[in-house]
């Protein structure tokens, strides 16, 4: 098992444009993917791009076959090795959602993403991949592909009033090692979806309808983060 160092925002290597893979099914490529998988799993990640470990190649891994404890309510995304990806936007609709990143630890921000996409590419053996994705799946793919063109999610943000430190924005978020846990006020995202609405009254009274701790003042002001997930 080889866990590689994950580069953090501010490292110039994260801003470089990755190069396409030209040879598939090689020992070097398989070793890189193995290292990426070990690194992603060690951090309980939902995805990882090769540039995040200092390798300038268009290689992504994402998804899991089981529920990730960091976002137990997110739909399952198929475990995928995606090389030389191309994204085609299928719908002009944009969706905003909370994102985080292993290269931007301790911070969260709301990022607009295309709601429905098609992505194509190859696996490590050179076999073609083509899928249509929406929602969380589409967001994960777009987030990871951004790493291949030197973009981190804060560079996609449009409203920096919805960006800050996790411990300040969401003090009830269980995130002991900054890479795990998705709970608000002791509740999972699913229970929050059931108890929160967009009205000011239900935002202010949501805590009163449960025996849990109240939501943070920021959440009460800006609305319940019903689609909050870690994306890496």
Q: How many CB atoms lie within 10 A of CB 84?
A: 20
Work out whether strand 47-49 and strand 59-62 pair parallel, antiparallel, or are unpaired. antiparallel
Closest CA to 128 of 189, 69, 81: 81
List the one residue out of 88, 85, 107, 89 whose CA is nearest residue 98. Answer: 107
Task: Count CB-CB contacts under 10 A for residue 85.
Answer: 20
Active-site residue, from 5, 99, 144, 201? 144
Catalytic annotation on 99? no
Contact (CB, 8 A) for 102 and 48: yes
DSSP track, 73-85: TSPP---EEEEEE
- Give the residue carrying structure tokens 């998988």: 37
The catalytic residue positions are: 144
């Amino acid at each position: 098992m080889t866990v590689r160092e994950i580069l953090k925002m501010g490292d110039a290597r994260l801003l470089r444009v990755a190069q396409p893979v030209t040879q598939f099914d090689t020992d070097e490529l398989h070793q890189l993917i193995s290292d990426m998988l070990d690194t992603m799993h060690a951090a309980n990640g939902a995805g990882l791009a090769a540039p995040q470990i200092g390798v300038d190649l268009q290689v992504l891994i994402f998804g899991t076959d089981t529920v990730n404890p960091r976002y137990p309510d997110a739909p399952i995304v198929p475990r995928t090795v995606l090389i030389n990806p191309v994204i085609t936007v299928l719908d002009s609709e944009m969706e905003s959602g909370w994102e985080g990143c292993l290269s931007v630890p301790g911070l969260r921000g709301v990022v607009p993403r295309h709601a429905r996409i098609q992505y194509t590419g190859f696996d490590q053996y050179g076999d073609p991949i083509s899928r249509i994705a929406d929602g969380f799946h589409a967001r994960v793919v777009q987030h990871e592909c951004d790493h291949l063109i030197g973009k981190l999610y804060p560079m996609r943000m449009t409203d920096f009033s919805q960006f800050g430190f996790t411990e300040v924005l969401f003090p009830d978020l269980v995130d002991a090692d900054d890479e795990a846990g998705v709970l608000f006020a002791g509740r999972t995202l699913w229970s929050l979806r059931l108890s929160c609405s967009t009205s000011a009254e239900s935002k202010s009274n949501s805590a009163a309808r449960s025996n849990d701790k109240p939501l943070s003042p920021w959440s009460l002001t800006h609305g319940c983060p019903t689609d909050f997930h870690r994306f890496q």
